[in-house]
Amino acid sequence: MNAIEIQKLKKSYKGFTLGPLDLTLPSGCILGLIGENGAGKSTAIKLMLDIVPPDQGSVCLLGQDNQGDIRALKEDIGVVLDEVGLPGYLTPREVGKIMRSVFRNWDGAVYEGYLRRFNLPEGKRFRTFSKGMKMKLGFAIALSHHPKLLLLDEATSGLDPVVRDEVMDLLMEFTRQEDHAVLLSSHIVSDLEKACDYIAFLRQGKLLLCQEKDLLKARYGVLRCAREDLDRLETGAVLSKRETAYGVEAIVERDRVPAGLELGAVDIEQLFVVMAKQGAKGA
Amino acid sequence: MRGLLLKDARQILRAWYFWLIQVSLVLITYRSEFALSTACYLIACVSLAVLSEDEQSRWQSYCLTLPCTRKDYVSGKYLLQMLLFGILLVEMAVFWLFWGAWVGMDLMPMLLRAMTVPMLPTAICLPLTFRFGGKVASAWIFMTLVMPFSQFLPSDLLGQTAFALVALGLFALSWPLSVYCYKLRWKRGGAA
């Protein structure tokens, strides 16, 4: 089953249009949604949750249309936004009591377990928490009602590397169950590269690509060679090039590079920057 | 819905208890018609203040990621406001039992006034706040709250009852209007 199926989704605001967006995420996988600030990542997630109504298109989450019983659907979805919007006077203990009334399948023991795991003081007010602690509480809430799908909007931005690493471990642990899936939007590409199975690039509201990460890595490579060697490649094989003191460094399509030339692995960040620049030129 | 109400109740007890004490103090200390009207306006302000706090803390966005709809959120605020009206009426009745006509009124005219005076501004302010947010709507809210609604109240019991029913009707009508306004606000991208 697909955890997320988006078809021709479109939303227009004054001066910005997202989509038409087509995107699929199979269960058991993590999808990294990469995009610059203002690319439409948060809008896409809000559309998925029907927080914002779409102009056209459809969204199916966990096999159910999000225009149906959204309340029941959200019981199976955990969400962490870039800012956890809890009132500052609440303590984690009080948040637990409120969430018990919000979620039918709220698991107090799991929640307390996460509070201990994240070293979050139960009696301290939310407003006194650091950014990292706030995000950890957001994760504790999102994971304590046994969700099948996690939607994380810039949830790792602003966290220190140790906490980010902890969160990434948590996500990989979560997707060990086959019916679980995660959509993680970020502009910190290194995080996504570590954890994601699928990568989607969003630029100015348009989806540039959505593909398996390993396929992307198998398709593109980094060629470091002399300028003459690069000039011998067929046109279209080179996505981008940069001249260095030692020669040329180019991102190329592996299939179109003759044997004998040694190719290095491309990282997703490089690829995203290249595609974003190409998109900007094409626009 | 229960969770949303629980959160609002905690918010009021934690952050607005001083406000509620003030309402009681105004009533007990001054024991006048003016004190009654002031208490009514103060009560009308609580749900608007909670709404603005929700907006500031980004709870409005966050609660829509939980199993709650926009309609649930709006309805929660209306139920909260009704609960506050109820508390005010009970408080008035209890005071009347202790001190009799303590604001120079009989029980029924006093209760009708306590129902009408806060309901009218709330019926106007809530849809505006749901549509434009606390900041933009604040000028309208201020204008509505300074309107001396109590001056327009008829002096006879029948007229007062009719006025209270009109206020109740307007409050009831503003409920679906607020749901519509709030949906429109999200649709147009005006919400956080």
Within a domain: residue B104?
yes
Q: What is the DSSP letter of A158?
A: T
Whether residue B114 has pLDDT greater than 70: yes
Here the tokens at position A150 are: 């996690």
Whether residue B191 has pLDDT greater than 90: no
| Mean residue pLDDT across chain A | 87
Q: Inter-chain contact A89–B67, Cβ cutoff 8 Å?
A: no
Within a domain: residue B192?
no
Q: How far apart are CA B132 and CA B59, in angstroms?
A: 16
- Residues of chain A with a CB closer than 8 angstroms to some CB in chain B: 13, 49, 51-53, 70-72, 74-75, 77, 79, 81, 83-90, 94, 97-104, 151
Nearest one of A204, A219, A228, A231 to A263, comparing CA atoms: A219
> Residue A103 has what pLDDT?
94
Whether residue B192 has pLDDT greater than 70: no
Domains in chain A with CATH codes: 2-212 (3.40.50.300), 217-282 (no CATH)
Nearest CA in chain A to B67: A71
Q: Which H or E run contains A241?
A: strand A238-244
The C-alpha angle A189, A193, A196, rounded to 5 degrees, equals: 115
Cβ partners under 8 Å of residue B118, min gap 6 = B40, B41, B43, B44, B85, B88
Q: How far apart are CA A118 and CA A107, in angstroms?
A: 17
The C-alpha angle B10, B14, B17, rounded to 5 degrees, equals: 110
Nearest CA in chain B to A15: B189
Q: Which H or E run contains A220?
A: strand A220-225
Q: Give the tens place of pLDDT for each residue, B7-64.
A: 998 888 877 777 778 777 877 777 777 777 777 777 878 888 888 889 888 999 999 9
Whether residue A280 has pLDDT greater than 60: no
Count: domains in chain B: 1
Facing residue for B57 by CB, picked from A52, A71, A87: A87
Task: Write down the residue that tokens 């029907």 correspond to.
Answer: A50
> Residue A283 has what pLDDT?
47
Q: Inter-chain contact A71–B67, Cβ cutoff 8 Å?
A: yes
Mean pLDDT score, A196-214? 88
> Residue A152 has what pLDDT?
94
Peptide bond into A92 cis (omega under 30): no
Angle between helices A131-143 and A108-117 (to 10 degrees): 150
Q: How far apart are CA A241 and CA B139, in angstroms?
A: 57
Task: Write down the residue that tokens 């936004």 correspond to.
Answer: A81
Confidence bin at B150 (pLDDT 50/70/90): low
Whether residue B188 has pLDDT greater than 50: yes
Facing residue for B186 by CB, picked from A52, A72, A101: A52
Query: What is the ipTM for the molecules in this complex?
Result: 0.85
Strand partners, A266: none
| Mean residue pLDDT across chain B | 83
Q: Give the tens place of pLDDT for each residue, A82-102.
A: 889 999 989 999 999 999 999
* Residues A235-259 as b or e (16 or more Cβ within 10 Å = b): eebbbeeeeeeeebbbbbeeeebee
Nearest CA in chain A to B54: A87
**Sheet arrangement for strand A238-244:** A238-244, A247-253, A220-225, A263-265
Here the tokens at position B186 are: 């999200």
pLDDT above 70 covers what percent of chain A?
A: 98
Mean pLDDT score, A131-150? 93
Q: Residue B119 sits in which domain range?
A: 2-187
Cβ partners under 8 Å of residue A281, min gap 6 = none
Strand partners, A207: A202
CA A279 to chain centre: 20
Best of A11, A14, A17, A46 to substitute, by most chain B Cβ atoms within 10 angstroms, is A46
Nearest one of A157, A211, A172 to A23, comparing CA atoms: A211
Q: Give the tens place of pLDDT for each residue, A149-158.
A: 999 998 887 6
Whether residue B146 has pLDDT greater than 70: no
Contact call for residues B107 and B93 (beta carbons, < 8 A) = yes
- Say if residue A63 is exposed, middle or buried (CB neighbours under 10 Å; 0-12, 13-18, 19+): exposed
Q: Inter-chain contact A87–B7, Cβ cutoff 8 Å?
A: yes
Q: Which H or E run contains B96?
A: helix B70-99
Q: Inter-chain contact B10–A98, Cβ cutoff 8 Å?
A: yes
Within a domain: residue B120?
yes
Within a domain: residue B112?
yes
Within a domain: residue B26?
yes
